[in-house]
Structure 1
Amino acid sequence: MPAEIKGIAPRKWQMDAVYQVRSQAQAGSDRALIYACPGSGKTYGGLMVAHDLVHTVGLGPKIVVVTPNEAIRTQWIDRAASIGLNLRHLRSGYDLRQEELALSELGFIVSYQKAVTEIRESLRDYCERNRPVVIFDEVHHAAGPSKKKDGNAWGHSIEYAFSTAAFKLCTTGTPFREGDNPISFVSYNGAQEAIALVRYSYQQAIEDGVCRPIEFTMFDGEMSWSAAGQSFTASFGDPLNKKRSGQRLLAAIAVDGEFPQTMLTKANERLMELRSGAGVDARAAGLVVAHDTDHAEAIAMELQAITGEPATVVHSKIDDAQKQIEAFREGNSPWIVGVAMLSEGVDIPRLRVGVYASNITAPLYFHQYCGRFSRVMKSRHERSYVFMPADPELEAIALQIERERCHALGEEYRPHLRTVGNGKGRCRREIEVLNSNGDVKGVTVSGKMLPITFIEAHRDQIRSFRQKGAQYATWTDAEVVGVMIDCGAIAMPEEAA
C-alpha cells in the first residue's frame, strides 16, 4: 500500500501511478513521466507519488516542486496544505543554504524561471547535498535549446541544476512541444516519442466521471483585410498559406469588427442559461483568452457592453493578478479575461464556458486552455462549452478532443461534421480590416452538425421533451435534440447524415 496521506481518497489512476513509479524507482531508475489530462487530479497525484517515494522507497527525504508560474505555484502550495503537506515558497538561494527545513515542511516550491535564471547554482548545490525528489510540473517547460527561433533554452539549465536529485518526477497534462526540442529528464523511444510511464487520457477521465466533456461551437465568416498594400478576403474555409492564415485569424479576433462580439454574445447567452440553474451552476463562470494585454482589455470592454457589468481582467501588466484570480475563483463574477497566465494550469473549477480569442494555434496551448473547463463539480452530465473561430488548425485539435469525448460517451463520431457559426472580424496592428460579416449556422452534438434551421423547426417538440425530466432543464436545445434523435423521437436531418 502507498504511504498514507491524511485527508485524501486516491483515484484509481493515482494509485496506479504510485505503484508504477515505485516499481520504477526500486528497479534503479531515477526518473518517470506521468501524463494526466487537465482536471484529472495531476497535482494530488504528483504529491502522492513523491510522498510515497520518500516514505516507502526511502528517497529524499525532501521534495522540490518546479512550476510554470506564480498562479500554479500557489495552487500546489494550497493543495499540499489541504492534505497536511507543507511546501515553502523558495524566494532565494539563502533558503536553500539553511541546514534543514522545519520538521513540518515537506520541501520547497519554485518557478522554472527563478530556477534557471536566479538560483541555478544554489539548487545544484542543494541537490548534491540533499538528493531530493523533484517534481517538474508541466515538464514541457524544461525543453532544451533548439535551432528554431521558438526554441525553449531552459533545458540545459534545468539539467544542470537538478541532475543529481534522487528522482525526477515529470508531469504533464498536454501533448509535448513539437519540433527538435528535447525535454529534460524525459526518455524517448526510437521514433523520438516521449515515453510516459503513466497515461491517463481525457477519454479515460470522462469515462470515469472525473472530467467534463466539452462541446465546441465554431464560428466562420468573411474577413476582409489589407496588409503591405494588398487586400484580402477569405473565410476559414478558404485555403491560405500559413502567413495569410495567421492574418485571417487575427482579423477575426480583433475587436474593431463584429466577429468577437458574436462569439462573446453567444457564449454569454449559454453562461446565463447555466447560471439560472441551482447549486454550483448558479456560480458558473466564463473565461476568454485573448491575444495580448491590450486585446484582453478591449475584450473586457466588449463583455461589459454585453453583460452590463465589468469583467475581471488578469495579465502580466497587472500587479495583483494573482489576487484577482483567487478572488474570482471564490467569487460569483461571471467573466474573467486573460492572456497566457490563465491558459495553463490555473484551477477555477466553476469555469463552464470559454471563448478562444487567441491567435495561438499550437496544440499544446489549445489543449491547456480547454483543460480549464474540464473539472467536474456537480454531476456526470456536466458539460462545458467552448466558442471559437473555425480556424483549420484549431478545428483539427478540437475535433480530436471531440473524438475522445464521443468515444468515452459511446456516441458516434463524424469527423466531417462540425459545429459552425459565423461572425465578423477585426485585425491587429499590421493589418487593416476592410469588411466582415456572417451568421451562426449550427451546433455540433455527439459528433453531428445540427443546422440552426433544423433546431428551430423542432422548437415545440424540444419544449415538450424537456417536460419529461428535470435533468433537461439546463441542457441546450442542441443537446436535447441529440437525445431525441438517439431515442428515435425525431429523425436525423439529411444535411447532417
Structure 2
Amino acid sequence: MSAPSAVRPTRIRLRPWQSEALERFADTSGPDFLAVATPGAGKTTFALTAAVQDLADNPGRRLVVVAPTQHLKHQWSRAALRLGLHLDPDWSARDGELPGDMHGIVTTYQQVATSSRVLAGLARGAFVVFDEIHHAGDDRAWGESVLEAFGGAARRLSLSGTPFRSDTSAIPFVDYHLDEARADYEYGYGQALADRGVVRPVYFPRINGFMEWVAPDGEVLSATFDDELAREQANQRLRTALSLEGQWLPAVLDQAQERLVELRRHHPEAGGLVIAMDQAHAQDIARVLRERHGVRAVVATSDDPDASDHIASFAASADPWIVAVRMVSEGVDIPRLRIAVFATTTTTELFFRQAVGRVVRWTPGLHGPGSRTQPAWFFLPDDPRLRRYSAELSESRRHSLRRRRDREELDSDRPDEIDAHDLGDDEQMSLFSVIGAVAIDGDDADGRGGAAGSGPGGLGVFDDDPDDPGDRHAPEGVELVLLPPPLPGGGHVVVPADGGSGAGGSG
C-alpha cells in the first residue's frame, strides 16, 4: 500500500469517562495500566483509542490484543478496523512474522499458552491489550505464558468489566492490595447510570420455588429458596430448579417470553438470552421455547464449530431468543438483548456480573415507551448467592437514580464465590435425581421482609419496582482528534475524506 501525501485526522467522540481514563493512561509512566469499567461502558473503544495514539507516537510499533474467546477475536478485529487499525484475528504461531499490511494481531489466552515463545518475539516493544485480564488466572500455566510472552512489551493495557480477586495466584502485570486487583482507573455501573445514555437500568425478577429431589445418599429432600441449606444441598436445590424435569424453569421462561413480547411492541429487534447449564440443557430449553411459544431459538454452544457465526447472525437479526452456555456470557456485543434468564449452576460473582453485562448495553435512537431508560430484565432463581449479587447491582441502580433525581430537584461483607458445578464426582452425581420443582407465587415467596410483586402468571417477582428514571439522553462526550497510525514499513492508514467512521464509545 503506498503512503498518501497527507494524513487525515480521525474524529472520535469519546464518552467523558473514556476521555478521563485516556488522560490518566497517558500520564502513567510505567508500562502497566489496569482499567476496570462496567460491561457496556465502552472499554473496547477506550483501549483502541489509546492504542491508536501510542502507535501514532511510535512508528512501526505493533499492537497485540489478547481476548478470552475465538468469537471475541473477530469482534476486536472489526472494532479496530473502524479506527483504521488492521489486526489479524486468524494469526497462529505457524505464521511467524506479522504480514506487512497489518498493525498487529488478536489472539486468545489459550493460544498464548501454546505459543508464548513465538509471541515473545512478536510482542517485544509492542503495545498489548489484555481483554478481561482475569482470564489469565483461569489456569496457572496461562499466567506463566502471559508473563513469558509479553514481559518485553512496551505498554500493557489490561481491561476488566468488574473488580476481581486473586484467590490462588497473582495475575501478571496487575498490582494487588489485600488480594484485590488495584485498578488505575475504575468506572462502575452506578457511575455509568448517572452519566445517562451509557448503560441500561437492569431489574432482577427473582423467582422463588418449591424443589424436591433425591440426594446422592438416597435421602429425599425438599426446600424453597428461603430455606437455609448447607452448600452441597443448596447446589442440589438450584440444579433441581433448573432441571426441565420440573416446572420451575418452564414457568420462568413463560414469564420472560411474555415480557419480551411486550418489549418488542415498541422495540421490535429486542432479544432475549438464556444462559444454560450445558449443551444438552441448552437444546432442551430451545425445544421448550419452540413447543410452548412457537419461537425458534438460536443455540450457541462450544461444540458447534459454527457457533460464532450463529452468534453474529443473531446479533444482526431480529430473532427473539438465543440460548448459550458460556459463549455469550462475557464480552459478546449484542446491544439489542433486553431480557436474560439465568439458568446455569455457575454462581461465582464474577460470572454473574459478566452475564448481567450482556443486557446493559445502550441502544441509541430508540423511540416509544421506555426509550428514555431502555430497562432490561434479568430473571434468576431466588438463590441466596444470586440474591446477594443482584442486590448490590440494584442498590447501585437505585442510588444513581435517586442521586440524579435529587440533583434535578435542586437545579455486607464480600460473599463467598461458590461454583455450584462443584457437586462431587460423576459417580455421586449419578445418584442425584430430580423429583419436581415449581415456581411459587408472591404470597408464598415473600418470607424475607422484601417487597414481593406479582409477575405474569402469578409468579413472585422481587426487585421489579419501577424507579423514577428522570431524563435520560446520550452524553455529549468529548471530541478528540487523532492521527491515523503508520503502517509497518513507513506508510499510513488511508482514512476517508469524511474523517473516518467516527466510532462512538460503545465498544
Distance 2:59 2:140 in 1: 30
The separation in 1 between residues aligned to 2:271 and 2:340, in whole angstroms, is 9
Equivalence for 1:439: 440
- What is the identity, as a one-letter code, of the residue corresponding to 1:441? G
Residue 106 of structure 2: aligned partner: 109
Provide the TM-score with structure 1 as the length reference. 0.80
Q: CA deviation at 1:81?
A: 1.2
Question: Would you say 1:55 and 2:56 are equivalent positions?
Answer: yes
Superposed CA deviations along residues 124-160 of structure 1, whole A, max 9, x for unmatched, are: 12233xx10000000001127xxxxxx5531111101
Instruction: Return the letter of the residue paired with 1:437.
Output: V
- The Cα offsets for residues 268-319 of structure 1, whole Å up to 9 and x where unpaired, read as 0000000011xxx111000000001111111111111222022100001112
2:375 to 372, 376, 383: 383
Specify the alignment match of 1:461 in structure 2: none
Structure 1: state its 5+ residue gaps. Answer: 145-150, 416-427, 457-476, 485-497
CA deviation after TM superposition for structure 1 residue 259, in Å: 0.7
Partner of 1:226: 214
Q: Pick from 302, 306, 310 the counterpart of residue 296 of structure 2.
A: 310
Q: 1:284-295 alignment to 2 at 5 Å?
A: 284-295=270-281
In structure 2, relative to structure 1, the CA distance for the partners of 1:249 and 1:60 (3 Å cut) is farther
Cα separation, 2, equivalents of 1:483 and 1:14: 27
Which residue matches 1:264? 253
The residue type equivalent to 1:115 in the other structure is: V
**Aligned residue in 2 for 1:13:** 17
- State how 1:308-457 maps to structure 2 within 5 Å: 308-377=294-363, 378=366, 379-410=371-402, 430-441=431-442, 449-452=451-454
Distance 1:450 1:242, change over 3 A: closer
Task: Please state whether the residue corresponding to 1:9 is helix, strand or coil.
Answer: strand
Relative to the length of structure 2, the TM-score reads 0.79
Q: Structure 1 residue 204 and structure 2 residue 200: aligned?
A: no
1:192 paired residue number: 179
2:159 aligned with 1:174: no
* Relative contact order higher in (CA < 8 Å, ≥ 6 apart): 2
Amino acid at match of 2:148: Y
Report if aligned partners of 1:39, 1:374 keep a CA contact under 8 Å in 2.
yes
The residue number in structure 2 matching 1:154 is 142
Match of 1:376, SS state, is: coil
Alpha-carbon shift at residue 96 of structure 1 (Å): 3.5
Change (3 A) 1:410 1:110: same
Q: CA offsets, 1:10-42, max 9 Å, x none?
A: 111111111111111xx3x11000001110111
- In 2, the alpha carbon distance for the partners of 1:7 and 1:101 equals 26
Asked if structure 1 preserves the Cα contact closer than 8 Å seen for 2:146 and 2:172, the reply is: yes
Displacement of 1:78 in angstroms is 1.1
Residues 1:430 and 1:74: Cα distance change in structure 2 (over 3 Å): farther
Separation in 2 of the partners of 1:372 and 1:254?
Answer: 23
Q: Output the amino acid matched with 1:393.
A: R
Instruction: State the AA in 2 paired with 1:395.
Output: R
The equivalent residue for 2:116 is 120
Once the two structures are superposed, residues 297-347 of structure 1 have per-residue CA deviations (whole angstroms, 9 ceiling, x without a partner) of: 111111112220221000011121111111100111100000011101111
Q: CA deviation at 1:194?
A: 1.4
The residue type paired with residue 101 of structure 1 is G
Aligned equivalents of 1:31, 1:438: Cα separation in 2: 49
Query: Which deviates more from structure 2 when the two are superposed, residues 320-329 or residues 151-160?
Result: 151-160
Which amino acid is the alignment partner of residue 114 of structure 1? Q
Does the 8 Å contact 2:205/2:464 carry over to 1? no
What's the offset of the Cα at 1:380?
A: 3.6
- Name the CA shift for 1:40/1:448 in 2 (closer, same or farther; >3 Å): farther
Q: 1:429 to 1:60 in 2, by over 3 A?
A: farther
Residues 438/320 of structure 1: CA separation in 2 closer, same or farther (3 Å cut): closer
Residue 174 of structure 2 aligns to a residue in which SS?
coil
Q: 1:198 to 1:430 in 2, by over 3 A?
A: farther
Q: 2:10, 2:61 → 1: CA distance?
A: 18
Q: Cα offset for 1:180? A: 2.3
Cα distance 1:185–1:4, how it changes in 2: closer, same or farther (>3 A)? farther
> How far apart, in 2, do the equivalents of 1:181 and 1:273 lie?
47
Q: Distance in 1 between matches of 2:9 and 2:354?
A: 28
Quickly say closer, same or farther: Cα 1:234–1:80, change in 2 above 3 A: same
Residue identity matched to 2:160: T
The structural deviation recorded for 1:381 is 1.0
Q: Give the gaps of 5 or more residues in structure 2.
A: 1-6, 405-411, 413-428, 470-507
The structural deviation recorded for 1:108 is 0.9
Is residue 252–residue 259 contact of structure 1 (8 Å, CA) maintained in 2?
yes
CA distance in 2, matches of 1:94, 1:432: 48
Q: Is 2:89 aligned against 1:132?
A: no
**Is residue 156 of structure 2 the alignment partner of residue 142 of structure 1?**
no
Distance 1:224 1:92, change over 3 A: same
The structure carrying a bigger helix percent of its residues is: 1
Post-superposition offset of 1:448: 6.7
Give the match for residue 465 of structure 1. none
Q: Is the 8 A contact 1:7 1:83 kept in 2?
A: no
Partners of 1:435 and 1:351 lie apart in 2 by 31
Instruction: Identify if the C-alpha distance between structure 1 residues 478 and 101 changes in structure 2 by more than 3 Å, giving closer, same or farther.
Output: same
Give distance in 1, aligned partners of 2:317 and 2:431: 38
Asked whether the equivalents of residues 59 and 166 of structure 1 are also in contact (C-alpha less than 8 Å), the reply is: no
The number of aligned residues is 426
Q: Secondary structure of the equivalent of 2:304?
A: coil
Q: Equivalents in 2 of 1:329, 1:355: separation in Å?
A: 17
Asked whether the 8 Å contact 1:251–1:431 carries over to 2, the reply is: no
| Partner residue, 2:423 | none
C-alpha root-mean-square deviation of aligned residues, in Å? 2.8
CA 1:123–1:478: 2 relative to 1, 3 Å: closer
The answer to whether 1:242 aligns with 2:238 is: no
What percent of counterpart residues are identical? 35
Alpha-carbon distance in 2 for matches of 1:4, 1:218: 52
Could you tell me how far apart the structure 2 residues matched to 1:152 and 1:308 are? 46
